[in-house]
Structure 1
Amino acid sequence: MESFNGKIVVNENYSASEVTNVVRKQIRQMGLTPSQVVSEMTKNRTKDIIGGRFLDREHYAFGYEGPHMIANVLGLGDGFLPHAFSCQSYDDMWIRKDDHSATTTTFLFRQGAVEKRYIARNGALVILHTAMDGNIGYYYPGPHHSAYIPSHDTRTRYRILSVEDNARDICVVGFYEPIPDSERNLGKVIILEKRNIKKEINNIEDDTISQSLQRTLAFFGGKGDNPYSVFQALHNLELLELR
Structure 2
Amino acid sequence: MTAVVLVHGLYHRPDHFAVVAERLRAAGTEAVVPELHRGSLSADTAAVQADIDALPEPPIVLGHSYGGSVITGVHGAGHLVYLAAFVLDDGESAAYLGGTSPQLQEAITPEPDGSTSLRPDQAISVLFGDCPEPLAAGAVDLLRAQSPGCGRGVPERHSWKHIPSTYVVCAMDRAIDPSLQRRMASRCTDVREWQTGHSPFVGQPELIVKLLRELLAAYTPPRRK
TM-score when scaled to structure 2? 0.27
- Greater per-residue strand proportion: 1
TM-score when scaled to structure 1? 0.25
Bigger Rg over Cα: 1
- Greater per-residue helix proportion: 2
Relative contact order, higher structure (CA 8 A, sep 6+): 1
